[in-house]
Amino acid sequence: MAIPTYETKVARIVQETSNTKTLYIVVPDEFTFRPGQFVMAIFELNGKEERRAYSISTSPDEKGEIGLTIKLEPNGKGGSIRLHEYKKGEPIKVQGPFGMFVPEDKVTHAVMIAAGSGIAPFRAMWRYRLAHKLGHTDVLFSAPNMDSLIFYDEMSKIMREHEDFHAYFTITRECPGDWCYGKERLTLDRIQQECKDYQDSTFYLCGSPQFCEAMKQSLLDDNVPKERVKMEKYW
């Protein structure tokens, strides 16, 4: 069956960090997806139609629009630059949903390990899991500096309000003097320390290919069954 394409528009834009925006795009009520899936954003760039894959960063429960969280890549092919220029009400097409990076509802303890903009699909997942009371969620998030911790405020607020949600942040480069979380790259030891139930967790990895492969190998070397390690690489 053909995957539908929707001719739509940008409903609103939220500046998440200095180089990351979430574009909220209007979708019809019949648009359904699972947390962790992505769409193709279709737009014009230099007179040609371009397509870029972006994870949906809003929950399936949030009807009428989807969020695409887009980090500006000045040295890329221009897609993120064009999308960062978008204004409220500007037309855009989306096709989807696509992807199998989807937690099963039966997972009672999910561990989400992200680097950079790899946090985007996890926001859809944790919002959905919290709303449907699907069990405990741990998020471990690595970024180069404080400004790059997308959704930091949201996760901090959820931790104060929900005992079934825990997040740990680590900064690998520019670290403020009053920073109370990690100042190093994520390691297996840190994952074990921060997880509520490491032995029975299902792990979801999202970030650069190098990051995902390194995290996956660390978990497999520690005898985590391969069927409990899921991965989505951001290129």
The confidence band for 34, taking pLDDT boundaries of 50, 70 and 90, is: very high
Instruction: Please tell me the pTM assigned to this model.
Output: 0.94
Q: How far apart are the first and last CA of the chain?
A: 27
Of 11-20, 33-42, 119-128, 141-150, the one with minimum mean pLDDT is 141-150
Query: Which string of b and e fits 92-131 if b means at least 16 CB within 10 Å?
Result: bbbbbbebebbbeeebebbbbbbbbbbbbbbbbbbbbbbe
Q: Are 31 and 113 in contact (CB under 8 A)?
A: no
Q: Express each pLDDT in 209-226 by its tens digit.
A: 999 999 999 999 999 999
Instruction: Report DSSP state, residue 35.
Output: T
> Class assignment of domain 5-98?
mainly beta
Of 106-115, 149-158, 190-199, 202-211, the one with minimum mean pLDDT is 190-199
CATH topology of domain 109-233: Rossmann fold (3.40.50)
**Looking at residues 186-194, what average pLDDT do you find?**
93
| Portions of the chain given CATH number 2.40.30.10 | 5-98
Please list the residues that pair with 230 across neighbouring strands.
204
Q: Express each pLDDT in 39-93 by its tens digit.
A: 999 999 989 999 999 999 999 999 999 999 999 998 877 799 999 999 999 999 9
| Portions of the chain given CATH number 3.40.50.80 | 109-233
- Beta strand extents in 132-201 (DSSP E only): 136-145, 165-174
Of 87-91, 130-134, 230-234, the one with minimum mean pLDDT is 230-234
